[in-house]
Amino acid sequence: MALFHQVKHTDENERIAKAHEETSRRASASKGSIAALQSASTRGRKPDPNSKKLLTLRLDPDVIDHFKATGDGWQSRMNEALRKAAGLT
């Protein structure tokens, strides 16, 4: 009986080894394909080096209300007011 289990166990090991080889082969092939696709294609526009930066800023509510009351584009107008106050315009 021990011989039967040993033979079966050897067959099972061979099957597992073949499956592992196949999985490794496919994984390495897909890694190369993914890398090639990622390097060949980019999504969207290239980042603008002069783009605005996102930050959190605490302001008085009446200041925010004043700019919001001017309608759409209030954030751009607030930015322009800050630029003028800083002497950047």
Query: Following DSSP, what letter does each residue of the chain receive, concatenated?
Result: -HHHHHHHHHHHHHHHHHHHHHHHHHHHHHHHHHHHHHHH---SPPPPTT----------HHHHHHHHTT-TTHHHHHHHHHHHHTT--
Please give the pLDDT value at position 39: 66
Domain ranges of the chain: 1-40, 54-89
Could you read off the pLDDT of 7-47 as tens digits, one per residue? 556 778 888 888 888 887 776 666 666 666 666 666 778 88
Please give the pLDDT value at position 61: 97
Lowest mean pLDDT across 42-46, 71-75, 82-86:
42-46
Structure pTM? 0.48
Please give the pLDDT value at position 30: 62
